[in-house]
Chain A
């Protein structure tokens, strides 16, 4: 099996899994869900580090470093702000 079909296979399964997982999230958590999901989309940093550190082709390195910086904003900012928001959610006492 070549890489392409293997990657497509993963894509299909994760999309279905995503639908199943998110359908169950109540409306009250929609904002934290969105910012938490946004933090996850910072995963692109993983693709960026390999390119930024490849040591060849100057331009690719700079673009890669830019991508690392932007994705790091996403990851750090996204997780922190989600945590801050979720800290507010409390149940009624008693």
Chain B
């Protein structure tokens, strides 16, 4: 059997293992094995690639693999679960950069216009993914401000960049010896990645991360065209498709279109004033304890504030005490709660909360009327009844968790400042709402002490 056929068969096996692994990721019972199967697929693909007879020198390959593998392993072992969003952003960016570099390196073997086009595509998508992810990383880790950065003429500048990219790309493909055009594409792609992400605010990050995830796959896919490799195309498009689906889910959960998220921050609508009737009713930890002690059904609705306060472990303690007291406890997780898809689920899973108690929005809402106490921890916009009741509200139409249907609502909140979107929350003024002010971790810690 000749070696080329053997390599191709290896790629087929690898692609099959990726598909099978992704399928097993669809259920919590099999997900871990699925990830392992996908990793075996990757190993098969890499071994097959190393058999390539065009490879005459292994030093560069081994050096790269050892350095990269060590960095990846250390990062994966040491990262805290609360830092997962920025970690995923960083990994996306690294993947994009890798595909962009493959594109540049493939110039040495390029021989047709078609190849040059695919090389340009992989550089473009890879570059945008790289710098876009770095900006997302900065925003998520708060090393740069997490707010939306907009300036007048932003759309105009972006349009100019796009025109510049297209023009220099076309000129490069027509005359590949003109490397200045290539450098222009590289530079503009990197700038464009920054420009696309800076106008997007922290609360919209779930959309951006999903989209960049998709781009990192598409970049690999483009690189696959550039080097004529089908396993890159299969794997890259699987990742691309998965990122696009997550992006769609996130947009739907915010009742906004993708272009609305990408091109207009909430800033333009924050002037809307909603008149809210009623008054804020604070509650002490002690009184909250008496209410919880009598409750038989409690729903906990976490938001980004729970991640910031690192309150997930103490929340789990409270849950155990409530359950020991004969109370049923469930969690209601909004799809865009936190900074990335599934952020809350990972945090609570780390705190040993069984995943079958983490209910999706559509499952918890019908049950809300039977809930004695709904505890909102560091969530705001995702429980804002204005989304259902106030037509003039900028978030009107967004699906929310209907905590106001519960008999009593406790809202754990640092202060009365409005949520990320800068929208007044009528929930706090409802008759059955009680505000428990202070750091979420300390408030819940106080409740735990009352119980024990």
The chain A residues found within 8 Å of chain B, CB to CB, are 3-4, 7, 10-11, 14-15, 17-19, 21-57, 59-93
Contacts and interface: CB of A to CB of B under 8 A. Distances in A.
Nearest to B58: A53
A73 B72 contact: yes
Contact of A41 (B65, B239, B350): B239
Interface of B: 11, 18-19, 21-23, 25-29, 31-32, 34-36, 38-39, 42, 45-46, 48-50, 52, 54-58, 60-61, 63-65, 67-69, 71-73, 75-77, 79, 81, 84, 87-88, 91-92, 94-95, 97-99, 101-102, 104-109, 114, 209-210, 213, 216-217, 219-221, 223-246, 249, 333, 335, 340-343, 345-346, 349-350, 352, 354-358, 360
Contact of A34 (B60, B61, B88): B88
B26 A43 contact: no
Contacts of B360: 26-28
B49 A46 contact: yes
A24 B30 CA distance: 13
A8 B308 CA distance: 45
Contacts of B226: 47
Identify which of A19, A26, A61 gathers the most chain B CB atoms within 10 Å of its CB. Answer: A26
A53 B26 contact: no
A90 B224 contact: no
Contacts of A24: 26
Nearest to B234: A14
B42 to A, nearest CB: 6
A3 B51 CA distance: 22
B65 A69 contact: yes
A50 to B, nearest CB: 5
A4 B142 CA distance: 44
A51 B326 CA distance: 63
Contacts of B58: 53
B35 A36 contact: yes
Given A35-B91, A36-B38, A39-B39, A70 B98 contact: yes
Contact of B31 (A32, A66, A78): A32
Given A33-B246, A54-B56, A90 B354 contact: yes
